[in-house]
Amino acid sequence: MSHLKLVFPTREAPGDLEERVLRTLEGAFGLILSRLRESTERPGGGGRVADPDDVADNVARIMTSFSRAAVVPAVRERTTDGVHARIRECVWRRIPVEAQLLWSPKKHWVRGADGAVDLAELAALQTLLSVDSAVRGVYPAGLSFRLDVEDIEFEFMEVQNEDVVGARETYVSGLKRLIAALQLDEVITLRRTSEHAKSEEELRCWRQQMVENHRVLEAYWYESEGRTVAAQEALPIFKELRRLGWKGTIPQDMRRYYLNRLGRLADTPDRDRVDMVLRNLAGILLHYQIGLLRGSGVFNPVKFSFVRPADSAPVELLVGRVDLRFAPRRLCSRVGAAAPWATKGFVYRRKDRVLVSFRGWHELAGAGCRFAEGWLTLAGREGAAEVRADLLCEELDKGTPLRL
């Protein structure tokens, strides 16, 4: 039985192109695709560790080697110290190192078939698996990733309609099938934020809390605009924001950071753009209020992220954090601060070669690219999963192949 099948349901793929694309994908994603053919039984614990502190040092070095370089050395040092402390707790208990990522419940800015899991998500999962494999070289228990899908947060951010709800379900269900087909369940657990609530009443309280967070954040945003830090901290609304658990002020460069992330696709009036940012911040604040970032609660997990921290974010919020590129440079040098859910993964032809690439939806909105729809089917012991694997044809505004 073949574990991989690639189909372009259009006539854009003449001759043996499908076979060539399949070979390219097998080369680019060999580590993770090998799980379709191999037994992936994972050790139940770390066993005896001769020197837990030495092992924790090695694991911390491995993890930070995958991290983007921090701009400020002092911040990097404090972050690394936090990572080490969290690893050490797990090594002493001889259990997998607990790790956590926040994950979007849908592809940003798109609807329909474009919202399906694609090569960007496959690359992101392979990156997590690469970290785990490297760690298990020195600590057999490895990592245990928990992906927290921000479902109620996005419900608060977006207008709710059939298309939006459908896009979320398409994406999350596709990601679950992909994790199952690749036998990643022992390494990666996916849970929606809403599934952490103990009851419908608690879930209702969380939604009300986001409304309150938004009210106070909005009042603070406009009252503090243009003021010095000292003047912001003297505002009564700032004290109210602090009582909700907010750390620090919201300086101008942090405001620009969040507004710039919206890009050209959020072509709305300024006040509506600010409201989108405020709704996002209301959800971020909720994470701290409900203890979502405490992991299992026994000790703090190592926090992984595919999205770089906001400019001027308080240093204490960066402790124990590892910032990753979701795809390594050898696969695509273009990928920088993007997350897989804000990115389209695809293949393209350059002369006689077929290559993998990723581009943010913001970039594609202005490029006028045309793609031939393609689907990669992965058949594993736990079922099959489909991954969107489109073929770039041309830039419509130029009528010539896109140079990447």
Tens-place pLDDT, residues 368-378 = 788 999 999 99
Torsion angles phi and psi, residue 55, rounded to 5? -65, -45
352 shares its domain with 211: no
69 shares its domain with 163: yes
**43-47, 79-83, 273-277, 350-354, range with the lowest pLDDT:** 43-47
Specify the pLDDT at position 3.
81
Specify the pLDDT at position 367.
73
**Number of compact structural domains in the chain:** 2
For the beta carbon of residue 374, count every other beta carbon within 10 angstroms.
24
Last residue of a domain, one of 269, 289, 309: 289
Domain that holds residue 267: 200-289
280 shares its domain with 329: no
30 shares its domain with 124: yes
Specify the pLDDT at position 268.
64
82 shares its domain with 168: yes
Q: How would residue 9 be classed by pLDDT, with cut points 50, 70 and 90?
A: low
Paired strand residues for 123: none
pLDDT digits 0-9 by tens, 232-285: 999 999 999 999 999 999 999 999 999 988 866 555 678 888 999 999 999 999
Looking at per-residue confidence, does 387 or 330 come out higher? 387
Specify the pLDDT at position 318.
81
Rounded CA-CA distance 364/55 in Å is 44
389 shares its domain with 258: no
- The set of residues, in sequence order, having a beta carbon less than 8 Å from that of 195 and lying 6+ positions away, is none
- The set of residues, in sequence order, having a beta carbon less than 8 Å from that of 172 and lying 6+ positions away, is 105, 106, 149, 151, 190, 192
The strand ranges marked E within 88-187 are 97-103, 143-149
Specify the pLDDT at position 328.
87
The strand ranges marked E within 159-246 are 188-192
Do the domain assignments include residue 144? Answer: yes
- The set of residues, in sequence order, having a beta carbon less than 8 Å from that of 341 and lying 6+ positions away, is 103, 104, 106, 107, 108, 120, 121, 171
Specify the pLDDT at position 132.
97
Last residue of a domain, one of 289, 315, 332: 289
**CB neighbour class for 229 (10 Å; exposed up to 12, middle 13-18, buried from 19):** exposed
Residue pair 380/180 in contact by the 8 Å Cβ criterion: yes
